[in-house]
Chains A and B, each alone.
Chain A
Amino acid sequence: MINNVYYGIFGVLADFSLQKVPNRQNLKFTEGYDIEDSEQLRQYQREEILPPRQSIPWRIIIMVKVISIPRLNDSPADFEKLFAIWSQVNDYFEDVQFDFSQCDFLRSNAVVFFGGLSRLIESRYGTVTFEWDTLKNEKVRSYLCQNSFVEIINQVNIPFLKLLNSSTCIPYREDKIQDMNAIMDYLTDDWLGRCWIQVNQALKDAISGYVWEIYANAFEHAGSAIGVFSCGQYFPKKNALILSVIDFGQGIVANVRNFLSADPRAEHLTAAGCLRWAFKKGSTTRLGISRGMGLKLLKEFICLNQGKLEVYSNEGYALINKDGEHFENRSSSFEGTIFHITLRCDEKIYKLAYEEPPF
């Protein structure tokens, strides 16, 4: 992956304090971008990282890190590639360009990852450019247009690229705050409501409720300032319906370790151990009110209906499927959590573990 990353110097700014050159102003640079008009510059001035422009002339150098997006499926090895990209940009606070020339396949896990990562970089006052001109593969181009990724990332309205009814895409969406109705409409209508899973409305409602637990956990526990990112896809040949949800918060493993930090042994808990605990009934990192049922309920539903749930969080990995649950430690890490759900589109298998009424 390192070989896929290179740096470009476009003329303007790296370290403001070191690069000032009296009597020289070089503020126009790459592709018509004008730093004088940029929110980034105004933010630096507000924070007094930069003085007002009138007082000192500046020579500014921007370093751009260019990242080549590879072919990305959804195997553990593909997730490792994503986390390697995260580690390349995580400590980099300036400008990043994503180049698609090597990319001939993308899945929803990659879409949410790049969408969220771009917002993460922007939240740190860096800029992100997706080099759409390098996107030559028609299938990938079509996928990113039809699932609204291009439109949302570019913040432009492209009516002719709206999701087609015949498409197997489930739209990309960004939720900076917990907008309950918008998210539940997305799950109920855009994800489950496209006739790919022939289940009755009551079951759709129940499934949406289980998946909501992911969003509730993310908004309550992750502490992600940039919110939660979702995308999905239906695969007709596999008869599988996928949903990927990511946040770039502190991660489940870190959250568990922090919660247990009163015990000095907590720092030695493995990522797998922390994830295993998080999926147990009643495990919660909040005090005061009993919680910790959400992941347990989701896990039961996935097992019962022969689906698959994969969770990558910090350096931990969890796999839940009909064979049970498996937790492992990974060598690489990222700060955040990805839930990657695969449902089988076979209505015959769907059931809920109903129990006797409590009252």
Chain B
Amino acid sequence: MKLIIKDIIGPRCITQEDGQKIYEKIHNPLLKGESIILNFEGVRQFASPFFNFAIGQLLKDIKTETLRSLLSFDHLTPAGKMVVERVIENASVYHTDIDYKKIVDSILEEQEKESK
């Protein structure tokens, strides 16, 4: 399957709502093992909310390696590549079971360092 992103979203891929539209088109085919090309020709502007929802969200039930083997990008600008790379890196280590205690521990630890 090949999706022309500009036709679906327009030249700006920056909002989570637009990211969700892409996610809904590609999630099931990817689960079924279908290869997908996202063509970004004509898309100029990118931001992380779009990729969080379009791509990062896929990693909830698809392994990173599987995603990399099935999903490819065409005509993605260097700026877009950088954002999507960061999003994938972030999503692959993200756990929905957030450990609040660990976060508070880490902030308190930084606070302590600073006060010394």
- By a beta-carbon cutoff of 8 Å, the part of chain A in contact with chain B is 178, 180-181, 184, 188, 201-202, 205-206, 208-210, 212-213, 216, 220, 260, 262-263, 265-266, 268-270, 272-274, 276-277, 281-282, 287-294, 296-297, 352-359
Contact = CB atoms under 8 A, between A and B. Distances in A.
A77 B47 CA distance: 33
A201 B94 CA distance: 34
B90 A281 contact: yes
The SS class assigned to the B binding surface is helix
Contact of B85 (A210, A260, A357): A357
A219 to B, nearest CB: 9
Given A178-B15, A269-B111, A220 B49 contact: yes
Interface of B: 12, 14-16, 44-49, 52-53, 56-57, 59-60, 68, 71-73, 76-79, 81-88, 90-91, 93-94, 96, 98, 100-101, 103-104, 106-108, 110-111, 114
29 contacts: A180-B12, A181-B12, A184-B45, A205-B77, A205-B79, A206-B77, A260-B103, A266-B100, A266-B104, A270-B111, A273-B110, A274-B107, A276-B110, A287-B96, A287-B98, A289-B53, A290-B56, A293-B48, A293-B52, A293-B86, A297-B48, A297-B83, A353-B82, A354-B79, A354-B82, A358-B68, A358-B88, A359-B72, A359-B73
Given A265-B108, A273-B107, A294 B81 contact: no
B50 to A, nearest CB: 9
Contacts of A216: 14-16, 47-49
A275 to B, nearest CB: 10
A54 B24 CA distance: 57
Residue of B48, B101, B114 with most partner-chain A CB within 10 A: B48
A263 B101 contact: yes
A293 B90 contact: yes
